[in-house]
Structures are given as C-alpha cells and as structure tokens.
C-alpha cells in the first residue's frame, strides 16, 4: 500500500479526532517529517543476508552484523534514529520482509521517545512479512511517551503457516523518574497489531488504547502498582507453540511482586502471547528474555547468548 494511503488510514482513527491541528513549526507529514525504512532478508548458502535496504532519515540501518555466537547464520540489524525522538507531525513507515527459509533479528538502538506535543500527533505504520520456514526476531526497545504526547502505531503482519515470528511491544507509563505527573501523563497511546496469512483473512487483531485521564489504568489487575508492560507475540506452528507454552511457567510473587507474567494462546492456533507488567524496565526485560530463550531453543534449536546486548 502506498505511503500516503497508509498515513491516511491512520489519520482516520477515531482516537485521533481531537488532534488534527497543524503544528506551528512545520506542517504534519511535511518534508523532513516522514521517515521510511525497508529491510529485506533472504537465504544465501549457509546463512541469511540483508539483500534489500532502503532508508529515509531519521530512520537508519547501516548494515547487518553477525555476532550472535548461538546463531552465526543470523543477520542482526539495529534501527537507529538520527533524531532526538519522535515529534508532533512525524510519520514513520517500517517494512520488514524475511523470505522463505531465511532468518533475521531486528532491534532498535534505544528507547522510542515520544516528545511532548501541543498540536497534532505522531504515527507509525509497520509491515512485517515472514515467508515459509522463515524466522524473525523483531524486538524494539521500550516506547516512552512523554507528558502531553500522542502516538499511534499500526503493525500489519503477514505470516506463512510454517514461519515463526517473535514480535514485541514494550511500553512505559512515561518518564516516571522525571516528574510525578509524567506517569500516564500522555494524551494518547494507541498500539494495534493485525495478523493474517498471505491472501487470507485476518486471524486476529490486538489493540492497546490508553487515552488521557482513563480511570481504569490503575485498577487492580491492570496497572495498579506497575509502570511498565510488554506484549510479546510468538507466532508459530501449533506444535512449536505448545512446547513453548509447556516450558514457560507464569511468574507471580504473592508479596511485593517486581513483575507478573504469563502466556496465553492466540486465536486460530496462530501462536502465543506473553504479557508482562513490572515496576521497572529491567523487571520486564527479565521476563521477556526468559520467554525469548525458550522460543529460540524450541523454534531453532539454538541457545540465546548468556551475555546479551539486549538487557
């Protein structure tokens, strides 16, 4: 789908209706406000390669690296933002394709910071395609929405029945150590994921929507006592998903828990969802990494390095 058609579809989201005023500094989606990134991976001999790379600042990937000793055939790409974060009126588009039999890992250089806004909003659309027998780990760092920010993200995933995708969205309640009113002080955070087969119907849709002054945020069983959360999907064939679920034990401490985590099945036998809430980012990362290690072992028969860059 063309870029401006995708942006137009996001513009029509109900939750954005109060935020269509134009910024005074530079118009929304104007020159310099649109970042694009396209990554394509394919199998070459005994390893996979990044064969397709297109980038428009502020999004940048320099090259694929091979330094995971547990999977030396795995190309690792780090998404770098050359700006200081996401500003009002910014529009981002990321496309990732992993072809048949290939593997890849895509991470981000650091947290995704959504700056304070006095007009408009920021949006991002992601397209992820995983082919037959392909394997992708796409684990961006935390999204940190600043006070008064508005951000919407739509991720569309096309997955072959034999493909495997580990995809994560990790979020903070704001800059909790900056000011007291930063915790859930943002105006809007909308994160949606849709999964389907190629030329097939949608298998499921997941959406996290937090709007300003939502009284349910601090309900028990939601985010009461916690400031960070993660939704991590493992989309995999049923037999692999069953083995992962059997090995992953829910984490719950009855007194003063640092983090709570558990795994549930996704609709249409498409895989699993790990949900984690925690006090600090390292509490959530610990549970995500525990799940990631099991996924890597069951899906590829390979270990996750003990000393990992992603902590």
Interval 287-303: pLDDT, tens: 999 999 999 999 999 99
Question: Per residue in 220-253, pLDDT tens?
Answer: 778 888 999 999 999 999 999 999 999 999 998 7
Strand partners, 234: 166, 272
Residue 310 has pLDDT above 70, yes or no: no
Q: Among 101-110, 146-155, 249-258, which is the least confidently predicted range?
A: 249-258
Say if CB 88 and CB 125 are below 8 A apart: no
Question: CA–CA separation, 16 vs 10, rounded Å?
Answer: 9
> What per-residue confidence (pLDDT) applies to 309?
52
Token pair for 273: 């969802």
- Least Cα distance to 59 among 97, 41, 33 occurs for 33
DSSP for 186-248 reads -SEEEEEEEEE-TTS-EEEEEEEEEETT-TTTTSTTTTTT--EEEEEEEE--HHHHHHHHHHP
Residue 211 has pLDDT above 60, yes or no: yes
Residue 280 has pLDDT above 70, yes or no: yes
Q: What backbone phi and psi angles, to 5 degrees, belong to 95?
A: -120, 130
Say if CB 58 and CB 44 are below 8 A apart: no
- Determine how many CB atoms are found less than 10 A away from the CB of residue 107: 17
Q: What percent of the chain has pLDDT over 70?
A: 97
3-state helix, strand, coil split of the chain in percent (to 5) is: 15, 40, 45
Residue 71 has pLDDT above 70, yes or no: yes
Token match 């899906």: residue? 299
The count of C-alpha atoms lying within 13 angstroms of the C-alpha of 136, restricted to the half-sphere facing its C-beta, is 34
Q: What backbone phi and psi angles, to 5 degrees, belong to 110?
A: -165, -170
Q: What is the mean pLDDT of the chain?
A: 92
Question: Per residue in 158-188, pLDDT tens?
Answer: 999 999 999 999 999 988 777 777 888 999 9
> What per-residue confidence (pLDDT) applies to 178?
76
- pLDDT tier, 308 (very low <50, low <70, confident <90, very high otherwise): low
* Better-predicted residue by pLDDT, 16 or 3: 16
């Amino acid at each position: 789908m063309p870029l401006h058609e995708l942006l137009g579809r996001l513009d029509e989201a109900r939750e954005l209706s109060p935020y269509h005023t134009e910024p005074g500094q530079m118009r929304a989606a104007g020159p310099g406000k649109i970042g694009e990134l396209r990554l394509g991976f394919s199998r070459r001999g005994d390893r996979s390669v990044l064969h397709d790379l297109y980038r428009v600042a502020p999004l940048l990937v320099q090259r694929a690296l091979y330094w995971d000793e547990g999977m030396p055939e795995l190309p690792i790409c780090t998404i770098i933002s050359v700006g200081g974060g996401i500003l009002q009126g910014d529009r981002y588009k990321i496309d990732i394709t992993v072809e048949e039999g290939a593997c890849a890992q895509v991470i981000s250089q650091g947290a995704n910071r959504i700056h304070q806004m006095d007009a408009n909003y920021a949006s991002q659309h992601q397209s992820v395609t995983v082919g037959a027998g392909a394997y992708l780990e796409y684990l961006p760092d935390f999204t940190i929405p600043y006070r008064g920010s508005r951000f919407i993200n739509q991720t569309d995933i096309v997955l072959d029945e034999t493909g495997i995708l580990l995809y994560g969205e990790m979020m903070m309640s704001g800059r909790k150590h900056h000011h007291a009113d930063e915790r859930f002080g943002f105006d809007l955070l909308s994160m949606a994921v849709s999964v389907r087969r190629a030329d097939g119907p949608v298998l499921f849709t997941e959406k996290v929507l937090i709007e300003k002054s939502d009284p349910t945020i601090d309900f028990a069983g939601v985010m009461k006592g916690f400031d960070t959360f993660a939704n991590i999907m493992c989309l995999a064939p049923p037999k692999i998903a069953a083995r992962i679920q059997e090995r992953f034990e829910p984490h719950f401490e009855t007194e003063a828990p640092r983090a709570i985590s558990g795994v549930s099945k996704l609709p249409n036998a498409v895989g699993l969802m790990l949900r984690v809430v925690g006090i600090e980012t390292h509490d959530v990362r610990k549970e995500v990494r525990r799940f990631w290690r099991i996924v890597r072992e069951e899906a590829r028969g390979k270990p996750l390095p003990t000393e990992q860059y992603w902590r």
